[in-house]
Chains A and B, each alone.
Chain A
Amino acid sequence: MTEEAAGQPGRRSFLNWFLGTALGALAGSILYPVFRFLSPPQVPEAATHEVEAGAANDPELLERGFRIIRFGAEPVILIRSGDGDLRAFSATCTHLDCIVEYQKDRRRIWCNCHSGEYDLNGRNVAGPPPRPLQPFTVHLVADAAGGQKIVVSKA
């Protein structure tokens, strides 16, 4: 105590520093692995460039005017508008991640979650969506049976 009073580092302050550091290191060595464990690892996904999306005269597509297809892990909306024109967009609403649908009678892409609305070019025209839907390219390719099949690829 007298040493410390005289402004010299005493045994007590050394021990406090020593114990404090040791406890800090212990806490760190416990918390670091826990923190790392809690952060989910990156799981690589195969990059998809092109998928086949069924026959051009698919009855579901003809009747409802749209179909949601899997583009890798990503949902893509394939739309057949009234004039037979085929278009594809990312089906994930740019507002809050819901999956959109196509309303044939109104010729609008519609999100049921918060009434977001996009036109047939994927532009956000009404409601809360902040950005347009990302477009995909659609091709028609002859299939083995003599018909046509739809191929969707990254724009």
Chain B
Amino acid sequence: MRTLAARSVRWLRERLPLAPAADVLARKTVPMHRYSVLYYFGGMTLFFFLVQVVTGILLMLYYRPSAEEAFESVQFIMTTVPFGWLIRSLHSWSANLMVFFACVHLATVFFAKAYRRPRELSWITGCALLFLALGFGFSGYLLPWNQLAFFATKVGTDIAGSVPVVGEWLLRFLRGGERVTGGTLSRFYGWHVAILPALTVALLGLHLLLVQIQGMSVPPAAEGEAARRRPMRFFPDFALRDLFGWTLALGVLAALAALFPWELGEKADPFAPAFKDIRPEWYFMFMFETLKLVPGGEILGIEYEAIPILLFGLAGLALVLVPFLDRGGRGRGLTVAGILAVVYIVGMTARGYRSLVPVYAVLATALVTLILGLGTRRAREAGE
């Protein structure tokens, strides 16, 4: 038995020379310093992506992408298919957690200046992956074909329509016609289960490969500490910690899905008025809320509405180009810009949810976080 196993391994090794890869993995280390915890966020995002792949494939077995059947098929999944409610809730919760951790990952990489030479490509692929994740979120939101999804898609695609020059084409391209119909649903389904996954897998492969080639970046503020301390072996020490985090994440995800199953709402009706509290996914909220504040009117033939949309587009472009905007050194300017962006996004998101979460609760949370952050920093500085 043993010799057979050994021989099969040898047989495989001869035909599949993985030894160099195993070698790289065995030699890989992770720098140790006070910000080392930041290295877990990318892996966490990856974990939720894997959950999305598995649960998404399972949902495809019962989901039917047509205006007549989509809502009913999701209803069938939620009420009749064994554990269907669990699989769909896992998919919805994990989607949100994935976007959340992708944002956290992006923010930490940004503030730790980990995008600097030679990691510009890791940053650009990472940004592209975030945009893909948002595309997944936007297209997936419509699939249950409920009222909320229907109106969110109408509004979202209409926003794309107000982009100057290409807007009209873009709107038709997204909707697959003039209006949001069953045709839009088929189209979004195609994007959601075929086009976006294919792009994501390719980009994710590149992103992970780049991380393996270049290793972990050390934030400028922790360079001294990282040089003093011994790095941790990736395998098995860091991998085990990663795995522990994933197990924890799975536990939290399962608890959320089981205790707060995702609701389905009412079937989309193109001839019913939009109901109160119509809102997009939370990660689009800051843009949605900004648009609410812009009055109607036009200047030089451009509608007011198009101005913030253009600005958001430029901001997205600036985000991708961050490694080239960075002038080296301490990079104070970019840090300040990043902090302002975070404050704007959090503030606008909080404003969007003010009917659910009172503003003072948000302000109090921000204040406590700030005090804790400054306190920890001071304690660290005193300790050093």
Q: Which of A36-44, A59-67, A133-141 touches B?
A: A36-44
Establish whether residues A38 and B247, one from each chain, have CB atoms under 8 Å apart when the complex forms: no
Establish whether residues A43 and B82, one from each chain, have CB atoms under 8 Å apart when the complex forms: no
Please report the C-alpha to C-alpha distance between residue A36 and residue B62 in the assembled complex, in whole angstroms: 13
Establish whether residues B87 and A43, one from each chain, have CB atoms under 8 Å apart when the complex forms: no
Question: Closest Cβ of chain B: how far from A87's Cβ, in Å?
Answer: 37
Establish whether residues B82 and A41, one from each chain, have CB atoms under 8 Å apart when the complex forms: yes
Main secondary structure of the interface of B (DSSP, over half): helix
B51-93 interface code vs A (CB 8 A; 1 in, 0 out): 0001000100100000000000000000011111011000000
A63-96 interface code vs B (CB 8 A; 1 in, 0 out): 0000000000000000000000000000000000
* In the complex, chain A residues whose CB is within 8 Å of the CB of B58: 34, 37-38
Q: Which chain B residue has the least Cβ–Cβ distance from A30?
A: B250
Main secondary structure of the interface of A (DSSP, over half): helix
A10-40 interface code vs B (CB 8 A; 1 in, 0 out): 0000000000000000100000011011111
How many A residues touch the partner, as a band? 10 to 19
Question: Closest Cβ of chain B: how far from A120's Cβ, in Å?
Answer: 41
* In the complex, chain A residues whose CB is within 8 Å of the CB of B61: 37-38
* In the complex, chain A residues whose CB is within 8 Å of the CB of B81: 37, 40-41
Please report the C-alpha to C-alpha distance between residue A34 and residue B84 in the assembled complex, in whole angstroms: 9
Establish whether residues A33 and B247, one from each chain, have CB atoms under 8 Å apart when the complex forms: no
* In the complex, chain B residues whose CB is within 8 Å of the CB of A43: 80
Question: Closest Cβ of chain B: how far from A91's Cβ, in Å?
Answer: 26
Question: Closest Cβ of chain B: how far from A23's Cβ, in Å?
Answer: 10
Establish whether residues A36 and B82, one from each chain, have CB atoms under 8 Å apart when the complex forms: yes
Q: A interface vs B, CB < 8 Å?
A: 26, 33-34, 36-41, 43
Q: B interface vs A, CB < 8 Å?
A: 54, 58, 61, 80-84, 86-87, 247
